[in-house]
Amino acid sequence: MSNSKAAIGNGATSLDSVSEKTSVWKDFMALIKIGIVNSNLITVFTGLWLALHFSGLSFLNNLDIVFFTVAGSALIVAGSCAINNYVDRDIDHLMERTKSRPTVTGKVVPVKVLGLGILLIGLGTLFLLFTTITATVIGLLGVFSYVFLYTLWSKRQLVSNTIIGSISGAVPPLIGWAAVDANLDVMAWALFVLMFVWQPPHFYALAMRRVKEYKAANIPMLPVVKGFKTTKIHIVLWVAALLPIPFFLTKLGIPFLILATVLNLGWLALGIYGYKIKDDIKWAKLMFVYSLQYLTIIFVAMVIVTLI
């Protein structure tokens, strides 16, 4: 009987240990904003893939470059996000989607989060140095724009914070391309512009859905300062600005050009539809979901068309 109790006790201890480890891992994933890291890696990889393809280089023969580029990019993005969590710990408790972050709940010591962010950025920079100086510099410019221009400066002061923040989000495909070809092709810049233009309508739609939370946190997002009517106009104009971009990616072929144009027109049509429905929040949700699907489809399609 006593042996059974011991076994049960040991089992409980083991479960507690596993639970604690799982919790620590989840906290770490939250600190580095794993969702943002993953979405950025999609665009990094696409830029890298296309640079290899159009340079006539073999993917398998350059796995070292692939590794250092992807790992380095992941680390600098993760580090930047950790610093963002450190800085925003005083307002994150006011928003539903951020109130459970470890920096808010007190599960981690804030200064350790700052240290983690700096360490990750340092390691990521070291990894990128194994590719090209250009890729490393672009990566560090992305870090600077996200940490300093967005998080520390514009986020809480300017209604244009989303546009300024879009610079860092547009950098990843450039890192990927520059890691292979430091002489950035027009296509590389087209990817940068695509990512830059995609972000305002994506984040404005999110801000419309979370407008009360942003207002409570005193963050001057466009819907908070200008209202839904103006925000809807801005969203439609930014989506319309995507229309010419596929024509700078004609090397990817006519099928891709058609797909990208259809996706752009579909998003624009959904945006215009917003003037006919009365439920702005429902429309914002539709626009937000479309933006996520749009990004995934268009970047995956860029890789697929080069394989056909």
Per-residue pLDDT tens for 128-149? 999 999 999 999 999 999 999 9
Q: Which residue is it, tokens 């090209």?
A: 132
C-alpha dihedral (193, 196, 199, 200), degrees to nearest 10:
-100
161-214 pLDDT per residue, tens: 999 999 999 999 999 999 999 999 999 999 999 999 999 999 999 999 999 999
Going from N- to C-terminal start, the domains of the chain cover: 21-183, 185-308
9-28 pLDDT per residue, tens: 444 444 444 445 558 889 99
Range 225-229, long-range pairs (CB < 8 A, 24+ positions): 225/159, 226/159, 228/280
Closest to 181 (Cα-Cα) out of 46, 44, 47: 47
Are 154 and 87 in contact by the 8 Å Cβ rule? The answer is no
Q: What is the pTM of this model?
A: 0.91
Task: Tell me which H or E stretch contains 201.
Answer: helix 186-209
Total Cβ atoms within 10 A of residue 160: 13
- Domain 21-183 sits in CATH at 1.10.357.140
Q: How many Cα neighbours within 13 Å face the side chain of 176?
A: 27
